[in-house]
Amino acid sequence: MKPFLMIKVSLLMSALYTVAVQAEMSIKRTQFGQYQGQQVYQYHLQNSHGMQLKISNYGATLTSLKVPDKDGKIAEITAGFDQFDSYFSDEYNKNNPYFGGVVGRYASFLRDGRYQQGGHTYQLSKNAGEHHLHGGTKGLDKRMWQLKRFYQSQDAAVLQLVIQSPSGQEGYPGNLAVVVEYQLTEQNEIRIRYLATTDKTTPLSLTHHAYFNLNGFENTVLDHKVQIDSNAYLKPGADNILDGTLAKVSGTAADFGQAKYLKDAFKTLKSGFEHYYVFDNPEAKLKKVATISHAISGRSMQVYTTEPGALLYTGRYTSDKLAREDGTQYGQYKAICFETSKYPNGPNIKNSPRTFLQPGEIYDETTVFAFAW
């Protein structure tokens, strides 16, 4: 590891202090596969209420999340695979749904894979036609992360993974050091914290690409109720890439100010949702921004974040041919993504908040998925 990156990772970890004590939790590591000669592990986190979370060090990927329902029946509620090789199948690579990965350096689209900063034009890799998507051909979700630490704190099972992205990777400037910390708490939360530093100004927007289905994939997510604390979303241009234009949600199918079923919204917006909602959070405080619930199972998920917005995606493009090894079927509208992040295409949008990370700054963002049943 280069000296710069060693120093920066050390600085980042100082912000993650937690006293390690024995608690009524568990965390363990098992072998998951091999990738380019490196050992891939899977970390199993469990709390005392029956929640079970699995994370791979390939892509810092959430591979499995099991949660009880109101009757105590535990079910899988996220899209992923039990075998590492399944993430490299022809169908998965063709569809490339980013199941459960930590996406970056920059989430969502950058138009033409290009942006200007400091009088210089930067050309990034193009992996979505003429555009750049989710960090490029081999973003952070398709790279090996290294273990920093896994342990039990007083009320959480904790996993910390680190990665270094050298200057020029996928076209991005600056040597970047990133830490992601997962916590599964006794309060039934999955807390995800991102920390990063750079030695040159770089755009940075990390997001988590988990797909959730609170009915355990027994049906589509059209029977889910959604409530989002947002008055506006960013309107896409003719090429479906955002240009910073705000559109009010009031009176439209995109209005989730009051909780409503997705099936009711779909009556008007038949193609589903791929909307980036803007939050009123200029001070970047951790605040509740959304609630997703499923009445029959009793499961619900509240989302808290420090980010300026989030993309609600209802799986329009997910292949119906994708399934977990036990037969759990994925496919169109079978899951919800709620991707908290900076503005999509933010480097090309004037005054988009916190789009660039500067040398000497610490990128520090948190998203929490809090479950109940």
Asked whether residue 14 is assigned to any structural domain, the reply reads: no
Residue of 209, 224, 275, 294 marked catalytic: 209
CB 328 within 8 A of CB 243: no
Asked whether residue 357 is assigned to any structural domain, the reply reads: yes
- Give one DSSP letter per residue of 70-130, joined into a string: TTS-EEE-B---SSGGGGG-HHHHHH---TT-EE-SB-SEEGGGEEEETTEEEE----BTT
Asked whether residue 247 is assigned to any structural domain, the reply reads: yes
Residues 6+ apart with CB under 8 A from 350: 244
pLDDT reading at 123 higher than 90: yes
Nearest Cα residue to 150 out of 47, 38, 51, 27: 27
Annotation says 209 is catalytic: yes
Nearest Cα residue to 41 out of 26, 28, 22, 50: 28
What is the structure's pLDDT at 10? 55
Give the CA count within 13 Å in the CB-facing half-sphere of 71. 6
Question: How wide is the angle at C-alpha 256 spanned by C-alphas 254 and 258, nearest 5°?
Answer: 150
pLDDT reading at 365 higher than 90: yes
The amino acid sitting at 118 is G
Asked whether residue 161 is assigned to any structural domain, the reply reads: no
Asked whether residue 56 is assigned to any structural domain, the reply reads: no
pLDDT reading at 6 higher than 50: no
The total of structural domains in the chain comes to 1
pLDDT reading at 38 higher than 90: yes
pLDDT average, residue stretch 262-276: 94
Question: Virtual CA dihedral for 260, 266, 271, 276, nearest 10 degrees?
Answer: -20
Q: What percent of the chain has pLDDT over 70?
A: 94
Asked whether residue 93 is assigned to any structural domain, the reply reads: yes
How deeply is 31 buried, as exposed, middle or buried, from its count of CB atoms within 10 A (0-12, 13-18, 19+)?
Answer: exposed
How sure is the predictor about 238, in pLDDT bands with cuts at 50, 70 and 90? confident
Residue of 170, 181, 189, 339 marked catalytic: 339
The overall longest dimension of the chain from CA atoms, in Å, is 60
How sure is the predictor about 237, in pLDDT bands with cuts at 50, 70 and 90? confident
pLDDT reading at 7 higher than 70: no
Please report, for the domain that includes residue 362, its CATH number: 2.70.98.10
How sure is the predictor about 240, in pLDDT bands with cuts at 50, 70 and 90? confident
What is the structure's pLDDT at 25? 82
Q: b vs e for 121-133, b when ≥16 Cβ sit within 10 Å of the residue's Cβ?
A: ebebbbbbeebbb
Domain that holds residue 210: 28-38+77-134+167-176+191-372
With tokens 């797909």, the residue in question is: 211
pLDDT reading at 142 higher than 50: yes
Asked whether residue 64 is assigned to any structural domain, the reply reads: no
> Residue 9 in 3-state DSSP?
helix
What is the structure's pLDDT at 191? 98
Going from the C-alpha of 267 to that of each of 229, 255, 271, 272, 313, the distances in angstroms are 22, 13, 9, 10, 16
Q: Report residue 124 as tokens.
A: 């990034």
pLDDT reading at 14 higher than 80: no
Asked whether residue 9 is assigned to any structural domain, the reply reads: no
CB 180 within 8 A of CB 158: no
